[in-house]
Structure 1
Amino acid sequence: MAWGLTVPLTGVPIREHRSLISELASLGYTDLWSAEVAGSDAFTPLVLASEWDDQLRLGTAVVPVHTRGPAALAMSAAALADLAPGRFVLGIGASSETIVTGWNGISYDPPYARTRDVLRFLKTALAGEKVDGEFDSFTIRRFRLEKAPDIAPPIMLAALRPQMLHLAAREADGAITNWLSVDDVRKVRAELGPDKELAARIFVCATEDAEMARNIGRFLIATYLTVPGYAAFHDWLGRAELMKPMRQAWAAGDKNAAMAAVPVSLIDELIVHGSPDECRAHIDRYLANGLDTPIIAALPTGTDLLSTARSLALS
């Protein structure tokens, strides 16, 4: 059974992860997945992890397809695939206009076309073939990796709704999602189909202080699920009316009212919290509904997150 952890842990310097990563496999973890928002890039923590451990599968969840050129992305992926042959998974996704344009000053091309084109480019380039031609969202002239990886990494797509899930089913090796409940897994799985890997980042507050966990959840839900892509995802999941008061308050600039409008029932669906045993049991229900790979994102609760990650291990 897969059991993944998101790195780096919030607020923990990358160099301080060494002792944890070197023992994760013995604790029952199978996977280590990075993130890329406004902290570390997606590749550096996994490069270090490839030297600190030789068993864990290493994945990016996810690298934005707009913020690096296709060739630069292929080179980074090839280097990590060479460091961890057969253990690296390249997760790519459209990210958001805030990150791509607001933070990086890059035009936010139509996300579906850009993701599809980068996926097709990478599959060809990482196989060691020359890429030369026009895609809908860019043109490549005579690019070939100097050294293609001996084992080309699987490529998974960040996918929240049917169109991207169908692309993942047709052309990728699986899909990566997040901000979903146990029951949502079945709807996502139905669109992806039974044959491709489905991974999901699951936000975990390992504390028995339910009020603390819910306050953390209120902030995160109001912040993330008002972003257009996630809002559309939850509309598709059937939560448009449930989230309407929160969205209206957020749009009016009243963040406190938006957080107050997040229903407790929604927090308890989307944020796993409780004792470590209760958290593991909750994650098990995701697996029972069709999730293949849970990627635990341990949320800070005032305790040492290195210890928290150990407490959430399978053994």
Structure 2
Amino acid sequence: MGRWGITLPLTGVPLAAHRTLVAELAGLGYTDVWTAETAGTDAFTPLALAAEWSPELRLGTAIVPVYTRGPGLLAMSAATIADLAPGRFVLGIGASSPVIVERWNGGTFADPFARTRDTLRFLRRALAGDKVDERYETFTVRGFRLEHAPEQPPPIMLAALRPGMLRLAAQEADGAITNWLAATDVPTVRAALGQDTELAARIFVCPTEDADAARALGRMLISSYLTVPAYAAFHDWLGRGDALRPMHEAWAAGDRKAANKAVPDAVVDELVVHGSVAQCREHIARYVENGLDTPIIALLPTGADQFDLARALAPRA
């Protein structure tokens, strides 16, 4: 079996309460724990805890925005986790979105490709212990050196949705992380990335046989996420432009309810894994069969115990 990851913390569960589950994950067949960073926990603190709770799991950020921390602070945070979990940490970075960068963090979302590329290049040098004195296209760093560079600099993966960023990930990073991907989309993304670069994807999983409830939740999430310009362009590239056009038109008109209703069931069923636990596990496996290296389960709330569902979705369940 290859990699099998999960996103932590689970929805609605306090971070400190995850200790028992994290200690079990490797024995259940999980290989990876990944974090996200939107408006809940930050990406690094859960991994610091997981590094102590489990000595086996690979730990990754998916993703840390390149705009919301200065380059030096981002290097410091990454070096800290790399020091706690030598050889087990993967730093995933990406542009994030205008909402997170500008509306929530007071930054400026400009030149996302260049900012991500420049941050990657800076981090390569900083995490190797180099003194960085460089004028990049999107920022300048003068005389920065980590006081304690990690003995094993972590691999760096890029959030990548379309060919330009996927090529950058293949050429300069150690992998690509994508999101809101159907199993049938994997070959398209893999072709743009190449065969020799790790491809990870966060997969939204709603283990319930109540299809109406799963689709209602899926429509709400899809209309919220896929109206973000980067995701809209991603799904245009993947061929869903016509299917999602009514949703975009309703959203642009300010009618959120109509936008939700306009998401076709077929699109929800492609992008949100739902059904029985066994059906969900089989659906996730199809991503791997189609060329995904690292599925990262993101459990959606169903009303059932989140820890029980995480255990049930494990490869060795």
- Please indicate the TM-score interval, normalised by the length of the shorter structure: over 0.9
Distance 1:105 1:259 in 2: 29
> Aligned residue for 1:295?
296
Distance 2:249 2:77 in 1: 41
> Aligned residue for 2:159?
158
> Aligned residue for 1:232?
233
> Aligned residue for 2:24?
23
Q: Does 1:304 align with 2:282?
A: no
Instruction: Give the drift of 1:146.
Output: 0.4
1:152-178 C-alpha deviation (Å, 9 max, x unpaired): 100000000000000000000000001
Amino acid in structure 2 at the alignment position of 1:215: A
- Secondary structure class of the residue paired with 1:183: helix
Q: Does 1:260 align with 2:261?
A: yes
Amino acid in structure 1 at the alignment position of 2:137: D
5+ long unaligned stretches in structure 1 = none
> Aligned residue for 2:81?
80
Amino acid in structure 1 at the alignment position of 2:105: N
Amino acid in structure 1 at the alignment position of 2:145: R
Instruction: Give the drift of 1:237.
Output: 0.7
| Paired residues for 1:112-131 under 5 Å | 112-131=113-132
| Paired residues for 1:76-225 under 5 Å | 76-225=77-226
Distance 2:283 2:108 in 1: 40
Amino acid in structure 1 at the alignment position of 2:288: L
Instruction: Give the drift of 1:304.
Output: 1.2
User: Identity of counterpart residues, as a percentage?
Assistant: 67
| Paired residues for 1:15-54 under 5 Å | 15-54=16-55
- Secondary structure class of the residue paired with 1:203: strand
RMSD of the alignment, in Å?
0.6
1:181-217 C-alpha deviation (Å, 9 max, x unpaired): 1111000000100000000000000111111111110
- Secondary structure class of the residue paired with 2:6: strand
Distance 1:226 1:108 in 2: 17
Amino acid in structure 2 at the alignment position of 1:71: G
Q: TM-score, normalised by structure 1?
A: 0.99
- Secondary structure class of the residue paired with 2:254: coil
1:60-92 C-alpha deviation (Å, 9 max, x unpaired): 000000000000000000000000000000000
- Secondary structure class of the residue paired with 1:281: helix
Distance 1:30 1:262 in 2: 34
Q: Does 1:269 align with 2:270?
A: yes
- Secondary structure class of the residue paired with 2:137: coil
Amino acid in structure 1 at the alignment position of 2:56: Q
- Secondary structure class of the residue paired with 1:307: helix
Instruction: Give the drift of 1:109.
Output: 2.3
> Aligned residue for 2:13?
12
Distance 2:243 2:268 in 1: 12
5+ long unaligned stretches in structure 2 = none
Amino acid in structure 2 at the alignment position of 1:235: D
- Secondary structure class of the residue paired with 2:310: helix
- Residue correspondences, number: 315
Amino acid in structure 2 at the alignment position of 1:301: T
Instruction: Give the drift of 1:246.
Output: 0.6
Distance 2:172 2:134 in 1: 19
